Amino acid sequence: MSLRHGTTHDVLACWFGVDRSTITRAIGEVRPLLAQRGGTIAPGIRLRTLAEVAEYLGAAGRTGIIDGTEIRVRRPAAGHKDRDRFVSGKTKQNAVKSMVLTDAEGHVLFCSSVRPGSCADITQAQQLGLVDLLVDSPFMEVLADAGYQGMGAQTGGRVVTPPHRKFKKNAPAWYEERHEQQRKAHSSRRIHVEHGIAHLKNWRALARHLGRREHMSEMVQAVAGLLSHQQTATLDHSLRA
């Protein structure tokens, strides 16, 4: 209830007839356990690290999709040395950022720990070791947006980003049409990661966080693990039906 609907500890304590400190302690104990669940790919089979996800995708030549998502947080107190680091260059708001990796159908496989909102998408991917993992893995395709431009060359073509514009000025009409078709084709293939992120943001705890920022990584990964389990259970039920 706390993650799904953002129910406060006071309300939960009232519902269960216990003290607020009991709820706070219980959530503090359960949250890290949920964060360690990882992404569920089949009943009872989970991927807990980015290396395991890369191995899973590469083993069968599956396509992965990556994107960064931002979660609004409280502004650090005045005088805090890292106050400006949380300001996102994209939204101009105080936020933290996490990298989400899904399969070609939008099933959430991995959600990273958070970084301050000023961190660029490609920088976060490099800090997570994604480049080294892709280089050392069997060839596979990972779709990404323009925020990851340059990773294609670093990974031997494994990361596919939108096509570059060869003409900045006075482009021929045929080139504009072709470039737009290629851009739309790429966007339509990677739209599934947006759907996966939208499902994550449906959990109230990730819509906007007003609590302590140090718990954000565990919260994001806990929600991702629960959502992944839910998606796998739904898919398994559909196949049986």
Tell me the two tokens of residue 12.
């939960």
The pairing of strands 95-103 and 115-116 is antiparallel
What percentage of the chain exceeds 90 in pLDDT?
Answer: 66
CA distances from 240 to 101, 166, 235 (A): 26, 49, 9
Q: Where is 201: in which H helix or E strand?
A: helix 173-201
**Residue-level pLDDT at 2:** 87
Domains, the chain, ordered by start: 1-35 (no CATH), 39-240 (3.30.420)
**Residue-level pLDDT at 12:** 94
Mapped onto helix, strand or coil, the DSSP state of residue 107 is coil
Tell me the two tokens of residue 125.
């991917």
The pairing of strands 159-160 and 141-143 is parallel
pLDDT, tens digit, for every residue of 136-173?
888 889 999 999 999 999 999 999 999 887 777 777 88
Q: What is the pLDDT along the chain (241 residues), one digit of tens a residue?
A: 889 988 889 999 999 999 999 999 999 999 999 999 999 998 888 999 999 999 999 988 899 999 999 999 988 888 777 788 889 988 889 999 999 999 999 999 999 999 999 999 999 999 999 999 999 888 889 999 999 999 999 999 999 999 887 777 777 888 888 888 999 999 999 999 999 999 999 999 898 887 888 899 999 999 999 999 999 887 665 656 5
Tell me the residue type at 188. Answer: S
Q: Where is 95: in which H helix or E strand?
A: strand 95-103
